[in-house]
Chain A
Amino acid sequence: MDLQKYRQPDLINHVIDDIKKHTASVKFMEVCGTHTMAIGKWGIRKLLPKKIKLISGPGCPVCVTPSSVIDELSKLKKVTIATFGDLLRVPGSSGTLEKARALGLRVEVVYSPMEALELAKQVETIFVGIGFETTIPGIAHTIKIAKQQNVSNFSVLPACKLVPPALEALIAGEETKIDGFLLPGHVSVIIGSAAYNFIPQKYGIGGVVTGFEPLDIIVGIKKLLENLDQPQIINEYERVVTKDGNKNAQAVMFEVFAVQDALWRGLGWIPNSGLSIREEYAQFDALKKYGLRITDIPENPQCRCGDVLQGKIIPPSCTLFDKVCNPQNPVGPCMVSSEGSCAAYYKYER
């Protein structure tokens, strides 16, 4: 795909000129961490009029993974922990997996759950199942293959999350006044744009599904402005997202997993926003296999990651930002994840 056509300065400036014609002061939330990084990386905030505020949402799977997941994994001495790279530096209550690995914990970075399954054919392996709808079907598929191949050394710690229930909790909480959402492109490939229809119907707020190129994001903002009076869900990422999403992926997801309440770091328990492994696949459930428990552990009270994730503040408003908390010494998960809002502000917008 030729991405250059989504990066043309002339085109982008043309859309920015249109945006500048709108007079409303608005607050839009980009739900997805990849959008947050793209906004920083492309310097988009600086191109927009000051009356348009972009705030980050809870869409970084690493940021919302409870510290108890790190703590529980750190106790596993005789099993190899297979994880995506960006979980390595997320602090639990007593350190990171990266530092625990230096002290002897067996941790392997993998690029896919199938790689973890291959590892399990050699050593007892637990795959850390974090992520949103984008990654869940791949994890579900791997569990199915593990069952077909009868790989007894393999299990998954189910800490996956669902985006729409989190958005609903955020809107219903009414603490963050949001005028529109930039909706996540990758997640929407799986769930489809129609999955967000409840937002305008129930709450009168619009949303635009967009991709991650600068033109995608800027056109998304323009569409949100144009539709403030008639809020709706618009799919501006039609090159990969359909109305109903990927039905096969959804089917495999719900064949292996069942919906349940989930604990989000910084946000607390959100109804119907997580997944548990169904009874038919219980032999691959690491929670049962190793007796692990995901619990709500009090965080550092000065860390405002929870408020950042809910869009109540922007990262520089946290008193720890760039003083005590930086990528070398992250206090909260938003500073450590490559998709985290604080990391994006630190890296691109100080």
Chain B
Amino acid sequence: MKDKVITLGHGSGAGLTRQLIHDVFDSQFHLPALDDAVHINDRIVTTTDAYVVQPLFFPGGDIGKLSVTGTLNDLSMSGSKPAFLLASFIIEEGFLIEDLRKIVASMQKAAAEAGVKIIGGDTKVVEKNKCDGIFITTSGVGFIEPEIDLSAKNIREGDKILVNGTLGDHTIAIINARQKLGLEPPPKSDCADLYEIVQILLRSGKLRFTRDATRGGVATILNEIYEETGLGIIIEESKVPVKDSTSAVCGLLGLDPLYMANEGKLLAFINDADDKLIHQLQEHHLGEEASIIGEVTLAVKGVYLRTAIGSLRPLLMLTSDPLPRIC
């Protein structure tokens, strides 16, 4: 790769991250798959993820809850039932034990609600200014029925693309809390365990593939799908659920909800999605604003957005984090 040093862009989840994984990690590790969760065998699935959010506590969650739900979601997206977690902590000298207690309690609460046990971990303390408060890594194990196969290769022309609710909420909550923008009421992160939503989709018998739309957002996943399958995708802007408050802040900062991180939203490819399935999702509190936002089609090559005014434009993969603009 061209770059000589790591920049923040390499952690964006977008093109630079993919390039880094491909050129540095996969070239040595020869990974069996680059999915968020991997199969150990036809019954056991595992995953790992690191969490470095600032601020540590934000409306709708904290780094502890995030570190549990994020890893559980990676397992759930494979169609598995999460069962066990391991958690590692890197803590900065001077960190308040009271805050650590709050974070750990939040982790236990999230795990217990999901019926998952935290069975082990590790603790390291580093010198002042050697990390930003606390970093948490969680690894998870889940069990899967052998007949379940949720991979991108299952996607077919005509599949409908669905999200379970409004996009961009986590990013806006974090920006507001971090930058003290003073939005009232403060926007809340959508940080949540999506297991039950995946199960509703699985029970329909129509789910081909699903992924939680974290870093890089929906647009990045759609582009990954296009690269992997060669199938075109058209998204209808008017169907994409976005809160008015999120939309307003995005307009102000020049950000696009389709590229922003979510922590409680998934993108699902459904064979022949119907109103009944959407209605079932909408009855769940994490799917109240579920919407079919687009379709897999051979009519285009690439990922396209039909704008609210009817024109069609490409929806590209970003290379790096979107940056807030000046004016």
A binds B: yes
- Contact between chains at A61 and B327 (CB < 8 Å): yes
Find chain B residues with CB under 8 A from A37 CB: 254
- Contact between chains at A214 and B8 (CB < 8 Å): no
Q: Does B179 contact A (CB under 8 A)?
A: yes
Find chain B residues with CB under 8 A from A339 CB: 254, 325-327
- Contact between chains at B8 and A98 (CB < 8 Å): yes
Find chain A residues with CB under 8 A from B8 CB: 98, 101-102
Q: Does B131 contact A (CB under 8 A)?
A: no
Stretch from A17-25, A130-138, A202-210, A307-315 contacting the other chain: A130-138
Closest to A88 in B: B323
- Contact between chains at B7 and A338 (CB < 8 Å): no
Closest to B15 in A: A328
Q: Does B123 contact A (CB under 8 A)?
A: no
- Contact between chains at A43 and B327 (CB < 8 Å): no
The listed residue (B7, B318, B322) touching A98 by CB distance below 8 A is: B7
Closest to A16 in B: B309
- Contact between chains at B309 and A338 (CB < 8 Å): no
Find chain A residues with CB under 8 A from B322 CB: 338
Q: Does B27 contact A (CB under 8 A)?
A: no
Stretch from A140-148, A223-231, A256-264, A342-350 contacting the other chain: A342-350
A36: min CB distance to chain B, Å: 12
Q: Does A89 contact B (CB under 8 A)?
A: yes
B29: min CB distance to chain A, Å: 24
Contacts of B281-327 to chain A: CB distance below 8 A:
307-314, 316, 318-320, 322-327
B120: min CB distance to chain A, Å: 34
- Contact between chains at B327 and A12 (CB < 8 Å): no
State A188–B37 Cα separation when bound (angstroms): 51
- Contact between chains at A131 and B9 (CB < 8 Å): no
Closest to B16 in A: A328
Q: Does B40 contact A (CB under 8 A)?
A: no
- Contact between chains at A98 and B9 (CB < 8 Å): yes
- Contact between chains at B7 and A99 (CB < 8 Å): yes
Find chain B residues with CB under 8 A from A88 CB: 323
Q: Does B97 contact A (CB under 8 A)?
A: no
- Contact between chains at B323 and A86 (CB < 8 Å): yes
- Contact between chains at B325 and A84 (CB < 8 Å): yes
Q: Does A194 contact B (CB under 8 A)?
A: no
- Contact between chains at B5 and A102 (CB < 8 Å): yes
Main secondary structure of the interface of B (DSSP, over half): loop
Find chain A residues with CB under 8 A from B327 CB: 34, 61, 131-132, 134-135, 186, 339
Q: A98-B7, A327-B319 are in contact. Are A338 and B311 (CB under 8 A)?
A: no
Q: Does A238 contact B (CB under 8 A)?
A: no
Find chain A residues with CB under 8 A from B324 CB: 84-86, 109, 111
State A110–B323 Cα separation when bound (angstroms): 11
Map CB proximity to B onto A76-117 as digits: 1 under 8 Å, 0 otherwise.
Answer: 000000001111110000000011011100000111000100
Closest to B2 in A: A329
A38: min CB distance to chain B, Å: 10
A194: min CB distance to chain B, Å: 21
Most buried by A among B247, B253, B324: B324
Q: Does A46 contact B (CB under 8 A)?
A: yes
Q: A43-B307, A111-B179, A338-B254 are in contact. Are A86 and B313 (CB under 8 A)?
A: no
Q: Does B181 contact A (CB under 8 A)?
A: yes
Q: A84-B326, A86-B326 are in contact. Are A41 and B313 (CB under 8 A)?
A: yes
Contacts of B248-291 to chain A: CB distance below 8 A:
251, 253-254
State A346–B8 Cα separation when bound (angstroms): 22
Q: Does A126 contact B (CB under 8 A)?
A: no
Q: A84-B326, A111-B181 are in contact. Are A7 and B309 (CB under 8 A)?
A: yes
State A128–B118 Cα separation when bound (angstroms): 47
State A9–B244 Cα separation when bound (angstroms): 19
State A46–B16 Cα separation when bound (angstroms): 31
Q: Does B96 contact A (CB under 8 A)?
A: no
Contacts of A137-179 to chain B: CB distance below 8 A:
none
Map CB proximity to B onto A329-344 as digits: 1 under 8 Å, 0 otherwise.
Answer: 1000000011100000
Q: Does A47 contact B (CB under 8 A)?
A: yes
Map CB proximity to A onto B16-29 as digits: 1 under 8 Å, 0 otherwise.
Answer: 10000000000000
The listed residue (A86, A101, A337) touching B7 by CB distance below 8 A is: A101
Most buried by A among B16, B254, B318, B320: B254
Find chain A residues with CB under 8 A from B119 CB: none
A188: min CB distance to chain B, Å: 12
Q: Does A42 contact B (CB under 8 A)?
A: yes
- Contact between chains at B7 and A102 (CB < 8 Å): yes
State A37–B312 Cα separation when bound (angstroms): 15
- Contact between chains at B313 and A40 (CB < 8 Å): yes
What are 26 A-B residue pairs whose CB atoms fall within 8 Å in the complex?
A: A7-B308, A12-B309, A34-B254, A41-B307, A42-B308, A42-B309, A43-B313, A46-B313, A61-B327, A84-B326, A86-B324, A87-B326, A102-B6, A110-B179, A111-B175, A111-B253, A130-B326, A131-B327, A326-B319, A328-B16, A329-B2, A338-B323, A339-B326, A346-B316, A347-B314, A348-B314
A-B contacts besides A109-B324, A135-B327, 14 pairs, CB < 8 Å: A9-B310, A13-B310, A42-B308, A43-B311, A47-B309, A47-B311, A84-B324, A84-B326, A85-B323, A111-B175, A131-B326, A327-B319, A338-B254, A338-B322
Please list the residues of chain B having a beta carbon within 8 angstroms of any beta carbon in chain A.
Answer: 2-3, 5-9, 15-16, 175, 179-181, 247, 251, 253-254, 307-314, 316, 318-320, 322-327
Please list the residues of chain A having a beta carbon within 8 angstroms of any beta carbon in chain B.
Answer: 3, 7-9, 12-13, 34, 37, 40-44, 46-47, 61-62, 84-89, 98-99, 101-103, 109-111, 115, 130-132, 134-135, 186, 212, 214, 326-329, 337-339, 346-350
